[in-house]
Amino acid sequence: MKKLPFLTILFLLTSFLHAQTNNSKVEKYEVVKISQKEFQELIMNFKDPNATYKGKVPCIVDFYADWCRPCRMLHPILEELQKEYKGKLKIYRVNTDEEKALATKYGISLLPTLLLFPKQGAPVKLQGYHNKTTLKGYIEQYLFPTK
């Protein structure tokens, strides 16, 4: 009888570990905070005047600050959009207080500012807070235009 609780615990532990292994293989669709170094690796080397966007799908970069109320209001909208466009769009965040050189390079003077990077072509800058419907319109217009 003493083996039964041990086997039950062993079974539960094995099931939990198996579930964790399977969940780690599932791609998560969330807004990711990046540094200047990661920006150069994932998006583009902004020091190169001939640089082009490196991503396989379009992306949005949200330049924000923790103290900025409109930035905090925008973040949940970006998380919703990331889930809605899962696999078709990446959304990154750059804290302008931590990455001043990157913010300066892109002329970020108003927060929040979004840079929309299409697969080809120049990024589009959107300044200030925008609601979800407006952002979806910009995403469709600039990142997924119909021909």
- Which one of 34, 60, 71, 89 is the catalytic residue? 71
- pLDDT 10s digit of each residue in the chain, 147 long? 555 565 555 555 555 545 444 443 345 678 999 999 999 999 998 888 888 999 999 999 999 999 999 999 999 999 999 999 999 999 999 999 999 999 999 999 999 999 999 999 999 999 999 999 999 999 999 999 886
- Which one of 68, 77, 124, 126 is the catalytic residue? 68
The predicted pLDDT at position 50 comes to 85
Q: What is the pTM of this model?
A: 0.80
The 8-class DSSP code of residue 28 comes to: P
Q: Which helix (H) or strand (E) holds 94?
A: strand 90-95
59 catalytic? Reply is no
Question: 32-143 has which CATH code?
Answer: 3.40.30.10
68 catalytic? Reply is yes
Q: Domain map of the chain by residue range?
A: 32-143
Cα 18 from Cα 115, distance rounded (Å): 40
The dihedral sign for the CA sequence 65, 29, 86, 122: positive
